Structure 1
Amino acid sequence: MRKVPLMVAVLSILASPVFAADVTGTWLTPTDQGVVEIVPCGGSVCGRLVSSDDIKTNPALTDSKNSNASLRGRTLKGLLILQGFTGSGGNWSGGQIYNPDDGKTYSASLSLAGDNTLKVRGCVVVPFCETQTWTRAK
């Protein structure tokens, strides 16, 4: 009989918001109807651009604005745009976000603000940062 209360306690802890917080999944961005899939990458998380208004119009669209000319031929669909984060659950920092609209990479952090809201903060140099709110796709 002692095992039942212990099991209930363990299950309660695992179901708590601390353990439920997870940035992985498919997210909708507030610009250009972007869709980003965030998945585990080793001990980190990374994200790929799945779709956007421009990609829907032209699935072969390339990374034409990349500051590195040798990368301008890459297809935007499936492009790795989030990488290098440390953390776990709902808070990840020290990563990078690539912006195909200007071809530049920025330091970034990710933090959940509820199960279906992700704050994505990109910085040129702190305090010159911008935060976007992404919504979990259903």
Structure 2
Amino acid sequence: MSLLLLGALLAAAPAAAPSADSAIGTWKTETRGGVVEIQRCGPSICGRLVTSELLRTQPDLKDTKNSDPKLRNRPLKGLLLLSGFKADGDAWTGGSIYKADEGKTYKATVTPIDANTLKVRGCIFVPLCKTQTWTRLR
């Protein structure tokens, strides 16, 4: 009888929340077929652009819209898009996301929802934010 009760309690228990480290991997973004690889960068995480629809057809694209003219000649492929985060419970906060098609950087939060889903939120300032859902590729 006690085994049945234990089994029922375990079945009713909520699934464990994903850890902040579950953000590490390769992710498909919501925009323009983008693929971003997120990895550990010391105590933080960082994310680089692996490819996109435009990069598949024009692999030598540059960061031409960057607000800093000195950076406009750097390649988009491999460009650091996510940086400066701190682990905050099950999320990464206090970081930034660079949006190359605008040449602008925004405050950002990265939150793993489950093993295959990531919420990435960028803000000019709260409440002017946009959230995307990224899907794990690897």
The alpha-carbon distance between structure 1 residues 75 and 122, as it changes in their structure 2 partners (threshold 3 A), is same
Alignment of 1:65-84 (within 5 A): 65-84=65-84
- Structure 2 partner of 1:108: 108
* Structure 2 match to 1:42: 42
Cα distance in 1 between the residues matched to 2:114 and 2:19: 13
Deviation per CA, 1:90-132: give whole Å up to 9, x if none. Answer: 4100000000010000000000111101000000011100000
Could you state the TM-score of these two structures normalised by the residue count of structure 1?
0.84
The residue correspondences of 1:87-102 to structure 2 (distance < 5 A) are 87=87, 90-102=90-102
Report if aligned partners of 2:47, 2:82 keep a CA contact under 8 Å in 1.
yes
Q: Provide the residue aligned with 1:64 in structure 2.
A: 64
Please give the alpha-carbon distance, in whole angstroms, between the structure 1 residues aligned to 2:97 and 2:20: 24
1:32 counterpart residue number: 32
Q: Is the Cα–Cα contact under 8 Å of residues 22 and 89 in structure 1 kept in the other structure? A: no
Distance 1:117 1:18 in 2: 10
Deviation at 1:22, TM superposition (A): 1.1
What is the rounded CA distance, in whole Å, between the counterparts of 1:98 and 1:20 in structure 2?
20
Structure 1: 4+ residue segments shifted above 6 A: none
RMSD, matched Cα:
1.6
Rounded Cα–Cα distance in structure 2 between residues aligned with 1:97 and 1:124: 11
TM-score normalized by the length of structure 2: 0.84
> In percent, how many aligned pairs have the same letter?
54
Name the structure 2 match of 1:120: 120
Structure 1 residues 43-71: Cα deviation after superposition (integer angstroms, max 9, x where no partner): 00000000000100111100000011110
Gap runs ≥5 in structure 1: 1-15
Q: Distance in 1 between the 2:63 and 2:116 partners?
A: 29
- Amino acid paired to 1:79: L
AA aligned opposite 2:73: G
